[in-house]
Structure 1
Amino acid sequence: MKVLFAASEAMPIIKTGGLADVVGALPKALSRKGVEVTVVLPKYGEIPEDILARAVKIAETEVQLGWRTQYCGIEEFWQDGIRYVLIDNEFYFKRGYLYGYGDEAERFAFFSFAVLEALDKLEEMPDIIHCHDWQTGLIPFLLRTKYKHRAGYTHIRTVFTIHNLQYQGVFSREVLQDLLATGDNSFTQDSLDFYGAGSCMKAGLLFADKLTTVSPTYAQEIQTEAFGEKLDGVIRQRSGDLRGILNGIDTDVYDPMKDPHLAAAYRNSLTKKRLNKIALQEELGLPLNGSVPMIGIVSRLTGQKGFDILAEALYSLMQENLQLVVLGAGDQAIEAMLHDTCMNNREKMAIWFGFNESLARRIYAASDIYLMPSRFEPCGLSQMIALRYRTVPVVRETGGLRDTVDSYNEYTGTGNGFSFVPATAHDLLFTVRRALSFYENDEAWRKIIANGAKKDYGWESSARQYQQLYREIVS
């Protein structure tokens, strides 16, 4: 079976968030099961030079984008046994950042057309195109409309995965009509129309053969008005074709025994884990104390991630015996709030604004508690990475957090972390304090960590479910 992944980012090629982790790891797990996977990405200028140097141009073509005729280079290279194909157009992709430009509609409409134009330049056509998030949502629509009669394309089926429904690729109707060279008939309620505009996410939801999202709970949540982002009706309409398949993590990449970024390698030894805490304290200028509980956060700094809840709790949190380490970037008001709190609590808090993969690994390894008070979380990978690094997660029960973190029950000895439901500072504080109280109980704390170590958060189970889904589609 041949599957082509179309995505806007993938580890270790280029990354801004969890999407890249999934698109980087899932193909390797599928490959181990005999699925032949090719990953297609834009050729960003930010891709590391050592990777770009290995890319070999195999073809070039032109993409008709409305009235524009644009160059499209097709390059390939191999990474970890997976073939990667890069779509080259410097005007669209050789920029300072991956996202955030005024012509996002044009950039990713070009990418969607280019993926389909590149297919007959590759050795063999795929059985399935697996599209990821709004940046590739137009591909199923184009395959069903513009390419439905092209020779060699009629057998291709599509899967569309929702990684985060909040980001939908909504653009004006006029812009999309121009780019897609399509008429009013494509902007009806049962097509691309989204309250008078056009939605790339909706295109994927309506025109793909099957839909998936990244956890069973999120698959249920997005069918409700509270989490459906105005697309819950469309998703309920397609509910029979929707699967919630929990993401995994690459357990080879996230392995504290082999992680080159850590001060001390470890597996289950809390003594060696504590060496990483002391090393991080020294690195960030915090008081050196191996016994003080450290809370870690590695996150985008947005309201979705619950930082408004944390802001209300932060003053009280700083009265506790703990250290808080935060790595992330995002909303300026949240950054300012964290900066001010840190300046007033230099002995208890350290922050690093930006993205730093090496530092992120050291925070996972050094922390005793990992905090995720998300208002919603489609899957969340950080809590699984934390468990892999024997760090106890404290989360709000939503989406994939609910599916992966079981609150500790001191009477039965079950549970791998702590959780709360109401999105309030009071409940966050209560739950963190509960976790801190068990941290002081060495026997209970070791039990919680041991419970977390028992569960496998790798990709094997999820890959098996995707493989079964692919089989259903092609049959």
Structure 2
Amino acid sequence: MKILFVTSEAHPFAKSGGLGDVAHSLPKALVKTTDIRVIMPKYTSIHDRYRSGMKLISKFTTKVSWREKYVGLYRMKYDKIPFYFIDNEGYFNRPNAYGYFDDGERFSYFSRAVIDAIEHMDFVPDIIHCNDWQSALIPVFLKAFYGEKYKDIKVVYTIHNLKFQGVYSKQTLHDILGLSDYYFDEEKLKFNDAISYMKGGITFSDYITTVSDTYANEIKYPFFGEGLHGLFQKLDYKVTGIVNGIDYETFNPRKDKELHTKYGISTREKKIENKLALQRELGLLESENIPVIGIVTRLTGQKGLDLIAHILEELLILDIQLVVLGTGDIQFEDLFKYYAHIYPSKLSANITFDSTLAKKIYAGSDMFLMPSLFEPCGLSQLISMRYGTIPIVRETGGLKDTVIPYNEFKGTGTGFGFRNYNAHELLETLKYALKIYEKKEHWDKLVKNAMERKSSWANAAKEYKKIYKELINKK
């Protein structure tokens, strides 16, 4: 079984979100039993310590519509995974991976270059596994331009976030993709009066996965479907949800060198030392008894920040401390900075990206707040449970699938959840969590439950491998 995993980002080379974690951790889980290789752009922003280990294995050209463009193909191994890199400084010599006027052209080029790179590798994949809109054109291009050459290659397409589809004008179809009007059709790439790269990936792939069971069902409805709910209803037979995992080596409180004090399930009483260290580092009042609520997120509306904004004053009146880490929309950045100024002993606003501080917040908080409007999977709630920090989530997407509401009578559950997107429903859930926090035996049981939850990539890897095998056997 030969798998080529295509991604626009992968830890540790480039990462802007959950895809970067998945593109490293899933292949890492599969490489033990499967010939899986990862291919991504060779951004000039990749650190020199990795770039120096890359070996140029071939130079060739690929098409962007009628234009011929240079491709350099590089290779290296990382964590026993073979990584390939597509090099073209005209497209990838940028400070960031995304956010440019020509992203549509950049990732059309990347998708075509990936297919052409197969000739220059030492294997032909049975499966190409594509991810999000940046590689969604691969199954379209295979159909349009490669005909019999790669007719046996099957494509698995994973949607990590349907909100970002790669929508461009109809002119892009001809000028950038080199496709005819045949593809400007409701059954193909047409999306309103434009084209959607992601719609092409969904339509032309052999199998589609999303990153949780609940999200796979939610996207069949208008609110979550981002204009594609009818397509998902039609293609229901080839859509399934597989919950992401986390890398147990990266996120392991027993061995994590970035923590003040290491701890595990059997030594969870040592977690308190990380709480005191976090309070001390951030200038909050040091107290074992004041509950610390952590938020590590992009500061955007999708993450439920408007709910938090609505109840923030009511929340800060309570005997709690709030620690925020992240960047995003200016109104939320300003909101937290303002209230941190008003309540300096109760709120620490860290408007930055800091992976070490994130680990300290996961370990040093008592609760983790994640009231998302929608959440395809989410990794933060999995990490927080791994560190014995109790998630408080809205029951949507992967949050619903991974966080079991606590039952104080049975002693079961791993966190707290609320259903409706309502600020005061969130506040009442928080107050209930604080009530349970006061009952130390209950809280210790809840922490133990959370830390015992199995969130490694092992189960997800088995599910993906099962899909690969089924597609290969259909040949």
TM value normalised by structure 2: 0.98
Q: Which amino acid aligns with 1:91?
A: G
Count of aligned pairs between the two proteins:
472
1:249 maps to what in 2?
246
Letter in 1 for 2:193: G
- Equivalent position amino acid for 2:434 in 1: L
What does 1:394-405 correspond to in 2, within 5 Å? 394-405=392-403
Name the CA distance, whole Å, in 2 between partners of 1:86 and 1:106: 18
Q: Does 1:199 align with 2:205?
A: no
**2:178 — aligned with what?**
181
C-alpha displacement at 1:225, in angstroms? 1.1
Query: How far is 1:140 from its partner?
Result: 0.7
Which deviates the most, 22-31 or 211-220? Answer: 22-31
Structure 1 residue 31, shift from structure 2 partner? 1.6
Q: Which residue of 1 aligns with 2:80?
A: 81
Quote the sequence identity (%): 45
Q: Deviation digits for residues 219-263 of structure 1, max 9, x if unmatched?
A: 000011111000011111111001111111111110011112111
Equivalent residue for 1:8? 8
Cα deviation for residue 176 of structure 1 reads: 3.0
Residue 232 of structure 2 is aligned to residue 223 of structure 1: no
Question: Are 1:324 and 1:349, in contact at CA under 8 Å, matched by a contact in 2?
Answer: yes
Alpha-carbon shift at residue 94 of structure 1 (Å): 1.3
Deviations 1:415-438 (A, max 9, x none): 110000111110111011111111
Residue of structure 1 aligned with 2:235, choices 227, 233, 238: 238
Equivalent residue runs for 1:325-404 within 5 Å: 325-404=323-402
Cα distance in 2 for partners of 1:84, 1:173 equals: 34
Contact map agreement 1:3 1:38 (CA 8 A) in 2: yes
Answer yes or no: is the 8 Å Cα contact 1:105–1:176 preserved in 2. Answer: no
What's the CA shift for 1:444?
0.2
Return the letter of the residue paired with 1:434.
Y
Other-structure match for 2:301: 303
How far has the Cα of 1:78 moved from its partner? 0.3
Number of the residue aligned with 2:205: 208
Unaligned stretches of 5+ in structure 1? Answer: none
The partner residue of 1:157 within 154, 158, 167 is: 154
User: What residue in structure 1 maps to residue 36 of structure 2?
Assistant: 37
Give the distance between the partners of 1:256 and 1:394, measured in 2 at CA: 20
1:378 alignment partner, SS class? coil
Q: How does 1:52-63 map to 2 (within 5 A)?
A: 52-63=51-62
Match of 1:322 among 320, 323, 344: 320
Contact 1:11 1:23 in 2 (8 A): yes
Q: SS of 1:393's equivalent?
A: strand
Unaligned runs of 5+ in 2: none
Contact 2:385 2:453 in 1 (8 A): no
Q: Displacement of 1:91 after TM fit?
A: 1.2
TM-score, with structure 1 as normaliser: 0.98
RMSD between aligned alpha carbons? 0.9
Once the two structures are TM-superposed, the CA of residue 352 in structure 1 deviates from its matched residue by: 1.3
Once residues 286 and 68 of structure 1 are traced to their aligned partners in structure 2, the CA distance between those partners, rounded to angstroms, is 59
SS in 1 for 2:124: coil
Match of 2:132 in 1: 133
SS at match of 1:403: helix
- Structure 1 contact 40–87 (Cα < 8 Å) conserved: yes
1:394 Cα offset (Å): 0.3
What does the per-residue CA deviation read over 1:330-377, in whole Å, with 9 as the maximum and x for residues that have no partner? 111111111111111111011111221111111101010000000100
Equivalent residue number for residue 18 of structure 2: 18
Shift of 1:289: 1.7
- Displacement of 1:291 in angstroms is 2.2
- What are the equivalent positions in structure 2 for 1:411-430 lying under 5 Å apart? 411-430=409-428
Structure 2: how far apart are the matches of 1:204 and 1:80? 29
User: Which ranges of 4 or more aligned residues in structure 1 deviate by more than 2 Å?
Assistant: 268-271
2:4 alignment partner AA: L
For residue 412 of structure 1, report the CA deviation from its aligned partner: 1.3
Q: Distance in 1 between matches of 2:235 and 2:18?
A: 25
Give distance in 1, aligned partners of 2:350 and 2:247. 25
1:155 Cα deviation from its structure 2 partner: 1.1
Q: Distance in 1 between matches of 2:399 and 2:244?
A: 11
Q: 1:158-185, CA deviations, whole angstroms, 9 ceiling, x for partnerless residues?
A: 0000000011000111023211111111
The alpha-carbon deviation at position 290 of structure 1 amounts to: 2.5
SS at match of 2:155: strand
In structure 2, distance between residues paired with 1:76 and 1:188: 38
Paired AA for residue 152 in structure 2: H
The CA deviation at 1:64 is 1.3
